[in-house]
Amino acid sequence: MELSYSLDVGLLYGASTESFRDITIITNFMMPKKPLVSVVIPVFNGSSFVARAVDSVLAQTCKDFEIIIVDDGSTDDTQAVLAQFANQPNMTCLYQENAGPAQARNSGIKSASGEYIAFLDCDDIWFPEKMEQQLAILRRNTKPGLVHANYEVIDPRGRVIKRARAGRSCEPLHVAFTGGQAPTLSAVIVRRVLLEQVGGFDPNLFVSEDSDLGIRLHDVARFECIDRVLVHKFRQIHGYWDIPCDERTHCEKVLSSRERFLTRLQSRPILNKQQLGALNREWSGYYVMKGTFEERQGRWVEARKQYLAAIQKEPFRLRGYSRFLRAVRL
């Protein structure tokens, strides 16, 4: 039996369940039928942007959807902003203690009832025809498992600073593991059964959770990219990158997450030459990043050790050598 709640700013209703650990339902209006698409929007301290993101979903030419917003323990005015959507009959708002973007998206997936799941970051927006065009491809006889689209990165002033042809990435990691497909989450729509099959997002990843999921999905399904810009990604510092913690704690979380992601790739049963080369490049970058972190902590011996590891992984790149020599001189 589904329960209905009204939204009262500042009050949280509901109780935790086994499916949603520490999740509280804020708004859940009954729907006459299951929607075709469940749109999952995680938000953490995104009060300045989330309404814009939601409006871009409501403006879609395809109307067969539900919106699931997961407030991941925001400390700003996010809940007050969400109150303006209290009368939307197809919107559910969840609240959980801060657990990170991967877990927030997993919570949204568990609550979803649609055949397809679409993701939208709280600071990005969709073009009105985005879902309609993607669904047309998903319903074709060939039936890809995931459809994404090109996107533009926008600065805070609204200027385009990057145009990405996401189906033709030249990045070695994407070429080696997904055939050049590089979906950004805000442009993705995927069959829900596939997310369940691969286990959703890794909740222990603070970064690289999108690449990790994309690679696992590519192992079990075919991707297709619409060669047209259908998403605007806004580059601005907020939310998880604006958490009040010291730089050391933040860097440790990023490094730990990146190491976990690369270790998972390294443990795949069969890696071809191209995949090994791409992984060595990523490991080299990781060791350089870790060496820089050790430098900032004044641990010069450990920094040199990390730079040597970077050189061993990619001996023909100068970056590891220059960093090592700098650490020796200092």
The last residue of one of the domains, among 202, 236, 270, is: 236
**Domains in the chain: how many in total?**
2
Q: Are 134 and 64 in contact (CB under 8 A)?
A: no
56: in domain: yes
Q: What is the pLDDT of residue 31?
A: 47
Is there a single domain that holds both residue 220 and residue 291? no
Is there a single domain that holds both residue 138 and residue 188? yes
Is there a single domain that holds both residue 222 and residue 160? yes
Strands 146-154 and 125-126, sheet pairing: unpaired
CA distance 64 to 214: 25
18: in domain: no
Is there a single domain that holds both residue 28 and residue 54? yes
CA distance 193 to 200: 10
224: in domain: yes
14: in domain: no
Q: Model confidence over 189-238: pLDDT tens digits? A: 999 999 999 999 999 998 999 999 999 999 999 999 999 999 999 986 54
215: in domain: yes
CA distance 81 to 71: 11
pLDDT at 7 over 90: no
Is there a single domain that holds both residue 84 and residue 120? yes
5: in domain: no
Residue numbers of the domain that contains 78? 23-236
Is there a single domain that holds both residue 160 and residue 87? yes
Is there a single domain that holds both residue 227 and residue 274? no
Is there a single domain that holds both residue 33 and residue 65? yes
- Tell me what the mean pLDDT of segment 94-111 comes to: 96
Q: What is the CATH number of the domain that holds 320?
A: 1.25.40
Q: Are 48 and 54 in contact (CB under 8 A)?
A: no
Q: Model confidence over 75-88: pLDDT tens digits? A: 999 999 999 998 89
Is there a single domain that holds both residue 74 and residue 193? yes
The last residue of one of the domains, among 191, 213, 236, is: 236
Q: Model confidence over 143-168: pLDDT tens digits? A: 899 999 999 999 988 899 999 999 99
CA distance 309 to 117: 40
The last residue of one of the domains, among 236, 260, 287, is: 236
Cα Rg of the chain (Å, integer)? 21
Q: What is the CATH number of the domain that holds 104?
A: 3.90.550.10
- Numbers of helices and strands, H then E, in the chain: 11, 10
Three-state DSSP class for residue 172: helix
pLDDT at 304 over 90: yes
Q: What is the pLDDT of residue 274?
A: 97
257: in domain: yes
Is there a single domain that holds both residue 304 and residue 211? no
Q: Model confidence over 9-33: pLDDT tens digits? A: 333 333 344 444 444 455 554 546 8
222: in domain: yes
**Would you state the structure tokens that stand for residue 31, as one six-digit string?**
């729907």
Is there a single domain that holds both residue 65 and residue 166? yes
93 CB contacts (<8 Å, ≥6 apart)?
A: 7, 25, 26, 27, 69, 71, 82, 85
Is there a single domain that holds both residue 70 and residue 195? yes
